[in-house]
Amino acid sequence: MDLENQKRVKEFAEEYGAENLVVVLGAAEGEAAGLAAETVTLGDPTFAGPLTGVQLGLAVYHVCEPEIKEEFDEAVYDEQVSMMEMVLDVDDIVSEMEAIREQV
């Protein structure tokens, strides 16, 4: 995850409290989604950014996961996400995301 984004996530967690944040990802690949999810829960696995060694344990989902999809207005989801949902390997993304959440 981009170093500046890590910094912003860290600042938001300090400002609002980790329990009040949900991180929604839009990564196109399971692996990339998993890395970002790991960064905001267990810490930056690349040891490069401000979240190195920082276990924020934030709630984190991909926008194509059912938990997030059901929160959307259907028309908005169709307009904003449905095309990507058609092309992404959603099952792979869901399993990567679940694997990270299980470790938290």
Partner 1 sequence: MNSVIKGASYVLAHTPQMVVYNGTTQTTERIVNPESEYLKELESHLRSYEDCVNYWPNQVYIGNATPDELAEVEFPYYDKVKDGAERYGKYGEIMPEEEFILLVQACDQFEVVMLDKEFVSAHKDALAADPIITEDIVARVHEGVELANIETAVNDEHAEGLYIAGKLVGCVKRAHDIDVNLSAHVMHENLMSKASSVLALLYGVRNAGIAKDDVEYVIDCAEEACGDMNQRGGGNFAKAAAEIAALNHATGSDSRGFCAGPSHALIEAAALVKSGAYKCVAVTAGGCTAKLGMNGKDHVKKGLPILEDCLAGFCVIIAENDGENPEINLDILGRHTVGTGSAPQNVIGSLVADPLERAGMKITDIDKFSPEMQNPDITKPAGAGDVPLANYKMIGAMAVKKGEIDRAGLASFAKTYGLTGWAPTQGHIPSGVPYIGFAREDILAGKIKNAMIVGKGSLFLGRMTNLFDGVSFVIQANTKAEAEAAAGVSEEEVKGLIAKAMKDFAASLIAE
Query: Where does this chain bind partner 1 (CB under 8 A)?
Result: 4, 28-29, 31-32, 35, 46-48, 52, 79-84, 86-87
Shortest Cβ 47–partner 1 spacing (Å) = 6
d(CA 1, CA 8): 11
Closer Cβ to partner 1, 19 or 90, answer by number = 90
Shortest Cβ 19–partner 1 spacing (Å) = 27
Distance of CA 38 to the CA centre of its chain: 8
Closer Cβ to partner 1, 18 or 76, answer by number = 76
Closer Cβ to partner 1, 20 or 82, answer by number = 82
User: What residues contact 36, with CB distance under 8 A and at least 6 apart?
Assistant: 1, 23, 25, 27, 60
d(CA 51, CA 10): 7
